[in-house]
């Protein structure tokens, strides 16, 4: 039973089929210009580039292959900030963006840039008025993720894009959890830079892409020195079989998005209703409407000692910084579980997850004196504990 599709997805077998020949017979270097092996590989990379562009409504020339969304986010944020640094030294992101976005911003802060970390509302969405107020003449970039990896909320991309364009500020979105799952159109949404990860959409790990708008043109400083591949923005040999895999994954996702959504929505509802019909004191984290249906993040009231921390950083016992940014109380943040449903999830897996969740929560609650008090109608917040 695997319900962690935000962490990673399995390779679609159709993607593997397309990749295989490029690992065995067609193993040329796509940058070798003098023989058939090189040409074959180059052609395959260009087909893949067009497939990646296709799923977000971009031009293939606007796609650069990278090693994943972490690299794309680093390149977008550091690259734009550094290129425009003489005139503009301010960037804006959100408190709930991915660690690699936040860390890239911290890196810039240490080098003299000014960063605004926008708070989010209780539902996990940013406040557009606050974003408008945060934009200054010296702002070069706004970076707001599309779908949140922990709670699945979808930020208002269309509105953010419009605001950024009006103010002549570039708009980058980390769309690692969004591409191939929800419709994205870089032109309709005025997105200037966008990060993609292969292994979140049934493609291979170790490959990703960044979309960089050509009109109006976005300039950025490369973060890798070398042979000047990928228009000088990302030196290093393109791993052609991975690129081919990413291309195929994007192509399949584009064609089957509606079908995937139908399947995933049905199973998510089954999971959510299954748990909520059998347990009290369960809360869905994040906006109930503006969300990707394959992510269900639930908190279980009172002493369910699951203490998973963040679904993504479960090695630490600290409650998730994303849930804290929503104002979720510490006890509820500590008892949150993220369920991730995807293309290959089955009804049987969901039913088993419901059964196990209900069983475990009931067991932990039986052991909890706090839960007993809640059952008796005592509001725990009114209690004076003898310590502290």
Task: Choose which of 174, 251, 260, 287 interacts with ligand PLP (CB under 6 A).
Answer: 174
Check binding of 208 to ligand PLP (CB under 6 A).
yes
Pick what 66 binds: ligand FES, ligand PLP, none; C-beta below 5 to 8 Å, kind-dependent.
Answer: none
Nearer residue to ligand FES within complex by CB, 8 or 130: 8
299 near ligand PLP, judged by CB under 6 A: no
Quick note: the x/- pattern for ligand FES over 301-320, rule CB under 6 A, is ----------xx--------
| Rounded-to-integer distance, Cα 312 and Cα 320, Å | 9
Given a contact cutoff of 8 angstroms between Cβ atoms, the answer to whether 98 and 73 are in contact is: yes
3-state SS class at 66:
strand
* φ and ψ at residue 178, rounded to 5 degrees: -110, -40
Does 104 engage in binding with ligand PLP (CB under 6 A)? Answer: no
Beta carbon nearer to ligand PLP, 92 or 301: 92
Among 49, 88, 98, 181, binds ligand PLP (CB under 6 A): 98
Name the strand (E) or helix (H) holding 64: strand 63-66
Give the binding-site size for ligand PLP (rule: CB under 6 A): 12
**Residue 155 in contact with ligand PLP, rule: CB under 6 A:** no
Contact flag: residue 286 with ligand PLP (CB under 6 A): no
Nearer to ligand PLP, 45 or 176 (CB): 176
CA 341 to chain centre: 14
Residue 145 vs 332, nearer CB to ligand PLP: 145
Give the contacts of 180 (CB within 8 A, at least 6 positions apart). Answer: 55, 200, 201, 202, 249, 250, 253, 254, 257
Which residue of the chain is nearest ligand PLP when measured via CB?
68
CA 111 to each of CA 24, 82, 107, 220: distance values in angstroms, whole numbers, following the listed order: 45, 10, 7, 17
Cα torsion angle, 222, 93, 190, 150, sign:
positive
Least Å distance, CB 206 to ligand PLP, is: 8
User: Taking CB under 6 A as the criterion, which residues in 30-49 touch ligand FES?
Assistant: none
Whichever of 102 and 135 has its CB closer to ligand FES, that residue is 102
Structure tokens at 209: 């892409």
* Residues 6 or more apart whose Cβ sits within 8 Å of residue 89: 81, 112, 113, 114, 138, 140
Residues in 175-194 at the binding interface with ligand PLP, rule: CB under 6 A: 176-177
User: Which CB sits closer to ligand FES, 68 or 245?
Assistant: 68
Q: Closest distance between ligand PLP and the C-beta of residue 197, in Å?
A: 3
Whole-Å CA distances, 188 to 52, 58, 91, 215, 277: 17, 11, 23, 13, 40
- Residue 70 interacts, among ligand PLP, ligand FES, none and using kind-specific CB cut-offs from 5 to 8 Å, with ligand PLP
Q: Which of 100, 105, 250, 312 is catalytic?
A: 312
Longest dimension (CA), the chain: 80
CA dihedral sign, ordered 183, 147, 258, 51: positive
Does residue number 124 form part of the binding site for ligand PLP (CB under 6 A)? no
Instruction: Count residues near ligand FES (CB under 6 A).
Output: 5
Using the contact rule CB under 6 A, the part of the chain among 174-182, 269-277, 297-305, 356-364 near ligand PLP is 174-182
- Choose, by CB under 6 A, the member of 89, 139, 149, 190 that binds ligand PLP: 149
Whether residue 250 lies in the annotated active site:
no
d(C-alpha 148, C-alpha 341), whole Å: 15
**Separation between Cα atoms, residue 324 and residue 95, nearest integer Å:** 10
Residue numbers 133-192 binding ligand FES by CB under 6 A:
149
Tell me which residue of 59, 64, 81, 65 sits closest to 215, measured CA to CA.
59
Residue closer to ligand FES, measured from CB, 6 or 195: 6
Query: Angle of helix 99-110 relative to helix 69-83, nearest 10 degrees?
Result: 30
> What is the set of active-site residues?
312
Which residues lie near ligand PLP (CB under 6 A)?
A: 68-70, 98, 100, 145, 149, 174, 176-177, 197, 208
Which residues lie near ligand FES (CB under 6 A)?
A: 6-7, 149, 311-312
């Amino acid at each position: 039973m695997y319900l962690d599709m935000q962490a990673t997805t399995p390779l679609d077998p159709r993607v593997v089929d397309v990749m295989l020949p490029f690992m065995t017979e067609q193993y040329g270097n796509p940058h070798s210009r003098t023989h058939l092996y090189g040409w074959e590989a180059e052609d395959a990379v260009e087909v893949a580039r067009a497939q990646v562009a296709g799923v977000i409504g971009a031009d293939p020339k606007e796609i650069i292959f990278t090693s994943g969304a972490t690299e794309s986010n680093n390149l977008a944020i550091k690259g734009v900030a550094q290129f425009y640094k003489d005139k503009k030294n301010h960037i804006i992101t959100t408190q709930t963006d991915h660690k690699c976005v936040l860390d890239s911003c911290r890196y810039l802060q240490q080098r003299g840039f000014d960063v605004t970390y926008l708070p989010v509302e209780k539902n996990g969405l940013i406040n557009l008025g606050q974003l408008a107020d945060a934009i200054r003449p010296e702002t070069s970039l706004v970076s707001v993720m599309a779908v949140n990896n922990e709670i699945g909320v979808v930020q208002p991309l269309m509105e953010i894009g419009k605001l950024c364009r009006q103010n002549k500020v570039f708009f980058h979105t980390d769309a690692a959890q969004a591409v191939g799952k929800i419709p994205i159109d870089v032109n309709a949404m005025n997105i200037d830079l966008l990060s993609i990860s292969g292994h979140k959409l049934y493609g291979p790990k170790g490959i990703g892409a960044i979309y960089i708008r050509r009109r109006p043109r976005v300039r950025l400083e490369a973060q890798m020195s070398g042979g000047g591949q990928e228009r000088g923005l990302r030196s290093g040999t393109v791993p052609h079989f991975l690129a081919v895999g990413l291309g195929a994954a994007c192509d399949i996702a584009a064609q089957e998005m509606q079908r995937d959504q139908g399947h995933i929505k049905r199973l998510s509802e089954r999971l959510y209703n299954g748990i909520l019909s059998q347990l009290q004191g369960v809360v869905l984290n994040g906006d109930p409407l503006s969300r990707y249906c394959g992510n269900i993040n639930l908190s279980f009231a009172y002493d369910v000692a699951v203490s998973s921390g963040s679904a993504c950083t479960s090695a630490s016992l600290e409650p998730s910084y994303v849930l804290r940014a929503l104002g979720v109380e510490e006890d509820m943040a500590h008892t949150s579980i993220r369920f991730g449903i995807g293309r290959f999830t089955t009804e049987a897996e969901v039913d088993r997850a419901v059964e196990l969740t209900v069983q475990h929560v009931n067991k932990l609650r039986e052991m909890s004196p706090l839960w007993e008090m809640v059952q008796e109608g005592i509001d725990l917040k009114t209690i004076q504990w003898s310590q502290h």
